[in-house]
Amino acid sequence: MISYVESPLMDELLKGAEGIKKPIPGTLVDGTVISVSKNKALIDIDGISTGIITGHEAYDSTGTIKNIKSGDEVSAYVLEEENEDGLVVLSLRKASQEKTWNKFVDAYENSKVVEIVPNEANKGGLLFNVDGIKGFIPVSQLAPLHYPRVDGADSNEILNRLQKLIGTPLKVKILTLDQEGGKLILSEKAAEEIQREEAFEKLEIGQKIKGKISGIVKFGIFVTFDGLEGLVHISEIAWGHVKDPHDYGKMGEEVDVLVIGKEKDKISLSMKRLVPDPWIEATKKYKVGTVIEGKINRITPFGAFVKLNDEINGLIHVSEVSEEEISDASEVLKVGEKIKAKIISIDSEEHRVALSIKALNEKEESSEEVKEEKEEEKEEKEE
C-alpha cells in the first residue's frame, strides 16, 4: 500500500492544477507555433497543452499556414479537446471563418461598409465564398459603374459583363444576414448611397466634370463620377448627326462632360456643349443663295442629307430634289453621290440648313431665258 504525505508544496501544485483551463471546443485560442510543415502545424497553448492543425483545417482565406514560422503567435479554433494522441485538435480555417463572420455581423449591425472580392458570376449577379461564408450581390444592387447595361437585356452579354468583375474588390453593405446558414445578401449600390447623396447636393448645373463611361446604349452614353451617374443623351453627344453612340467612346474610358440638368436622382449631361457650336461659324460662312458642293451621307423618305463639314449637314427636302414630283429622295439620289445644291434657308437656332437642287436648276433656266431675250433684242436691232 502506497501512502502520500501531505506537504505545502504538493498543496500548491494541486491548487495550480485546479486553475488550469482546458481549451473548449467551439472557442478561439491563441498559441505559439512550435513547428510547421506544408499542411501541418503544432501549437503550444499557454505552455500547458499542445494543439495540432492538419489537413484542410490548415488552409484559411488568408493563407496563414504558408506564412507562419516557429515562434509566431496564431489564433485557432478548437475542434476537439483532445485526440487519441492527447493533442488539442485546432483549425485555422474555422478561426478565419469565425473572425470573418464576426466582422460581417458587426458591419451588418452597425451599417458599416466592407470590401469583398467576387469569385463567381451568374446571370443574376456576383457571388463570393470566404471560408465557407457565401455572399451574393444581385445585378440590381451593383453600383452604376459596374451595372451591365445591355441593349435588349441580352442575358449572355450580361453574364459576360459580370464575369469581367470576378476578382475585382468591391465595397458593399450587407442587406440581409443568415447566421445559421452562413449566407449574406450584399449591395454595392447601398454602400455608395451616402456618398451619392452628398455629391448630388453639391452638383451644380453648368459644372464641368471628368467621369468614366459606364454604359453605351442606342439612346446615349452613361457616365459615372463621384458615385453618381448621368446620361449624355444621343442629342447631346455631338453637334452633328449621331447615328451610333458607340462611335463616340468605349466602356471605362475617361470623358469630360457638362452638367445640364438634375432632377431627383436623374442627371443630364452633355459632351457637345464643351466644344464650340459649329453652327455659329456656319452662319458666317454659309449664306442664303450660296451654291455648295457636298456628298450625300444619308437618305430618308422625306429627303437627303448632304455633308457640308464634319459637324454640319444640310437637308434637301424631297420637294426640292427635282421639278418632277417624287415620293422618295432615293428615286433620284444615292448615298455617296456628290451633288451641287443651293442654300435656300439657314436657321442657326434650330441648327438647320435647307438645300435645293431644284432651285439650282431654276437659276440655270433663268440664265438661259435672259440669254435668249438678249439674242432676240440683238436680232431686232439688226433688222
**CATH number of 36's domain:** 2.40.50.140
From 97, 128, 157, give the residue that closes a domain. Answer: 97
Looking at residues 257-266, what average pLDDT do you find? 90
| Domain match, 214 and 226 both | yes
- Cell 463616340 found at: 248
If asked whether residues 224 and 263 sit together in one domain, one would say yes
pLDDT for the residue 367: 47
Same-domain pairing of 288 and 358: yes
Give the total number of structural domains in the chain: 4
Cell numbers describing residue 20: 488550469
Inter-residue contact 113 to 172 (CB < 8 Å): yes
- The cell for 203 is 452638383
Question: Does 118 lie in the same domain as 85?
Answer: no
Sign of CA dihedral 306, 308, 311, 313: negative
Domain that holds residue 168: 113-191
185 and 126 in one domain? yes
Three-class SS of residue 10? helix
When pLDDT is averaged across residues 280-284 and rounded to a whole number, the result is: 74
Phi, psi of 47, rounded to the nearest 5 degrees = 70, 10
Examine residue 325 and state whether it is found in any structural domain, yes or no: yes
Q: Which residue has the cell 454595392?
A: 188
Looking at the structure, tell me whether residues 126 and 166 fall in a common domain.
Answer: yes
Same domain? For 282 and 270 the reply is no
Q: What is residue 197's predicted lDDT score, i.e. its pLDDT?
A: 79
Query: Would you say 41 and 68 are in contact if contact means Cβ atoms under 8 Å apart?
Result: yes
Q: Is 368 part of a structural domain of the chain?
A: no
- What is the total residue count of the chain? 383
Render pLDDT for 141-194 as a digit per residue (tens, 0 to 9).
998 888 887 777 788 889 999 999 999 999 999 999 987 888 999 999 888 886
Among the three residues 191, 214, 248, which one is the final residue of a domain in this structure? 191
Nearest to 356 by CA among 290, 269, 276: 290
Taking CB atoms within 8 Å and a gap of at least 24, the contacts of 277-286 are 277/239, 278/239, 278/240, 278/309, 278/310, 278/311, 278/312, 279/239, 279/312, 279/348, 279/351, 280/348, 282/308, 282/309, 282/312, 282/346, 282/348, 282/353, 283/346, 283/348, 286/343, 286/346, 286/353
Question: Within 13 Å of residue 371, how many CA atoms lie on the same side as its CB?
Answer: 6
Please check whether residues 270 and 295 belong to one and the same domain. Answer: no
Within 10 A of 307 (CB to CB), how many other CB atoms are there?
Answer: 16
pLDDT band at residue 119 using 50, 70 and 90 as cut-offs: very high
In this structure, the answer to whether residues 180 and 226 fall within a common structural domain is no
Statement to judge: residues 315 and 357 lie in one domain: yes
Strand order in the sheet with 120-122: 114-116, 170-178, 183-187, 133-138, 125-130, 120-122
Q: How confident is the model at residue 260, as a pLDDT?
A: 95
- 320 three-state secondary structure: helix
Q: Is 371 contained in some domain?
A: no
For the cut 70, the answer to whether the pLDDT of residue 370 exceeds it is: no
Residue at a domain's end among 191, 218, 250: 191
Q: Which pLDDT does position 165 carry in this prediction?
A: 95
Using one digit for the tens of pLDDT, what is the confidence trace for 237-248? 998 778 899 999
Q: What pLDDT shows up at residue 278?
A: 79
Look at residue 381 and tell me if it is in a domain: no
Condensed to tens digits (0 to 9), the pLDDT of residues 181-231 reads 889 999 998 888 867 777 888 899 999 999 999 999 999 999 998 878 899
Residue pLDDT, tens place only, 20-66: 668 889 889 999 999 998 889 999 998 889 999 999 898 887 888 88
Q: What is the pLDDT of residue 264?
A: 78
Q: Which residue has the higher pLDDT, 214 or 14?
A: 214
User: Is residue 21 situated within a structural domain?
Assistant: no
366 or 346, higher pLDDT? 346
pLDDT value of position 329? 87
Spatial CB neighbours of 166, under 8 Å, sequence gap ≥ 6:
118, 119, 120, 121, 126
Can you give the pLDDT at residue 381?
52
* 173 and 222 inside one domain: no
Confirm whether 173 is domain-assigned. Answer: yes
Is residue 151 located within the same domain as residue 83?
no
In a domain, 282, yes or no: yes
128, part of any domain? yes
The residues near 82 (Cβ < 8 Å, ≥ 6 apart) are 88, 89
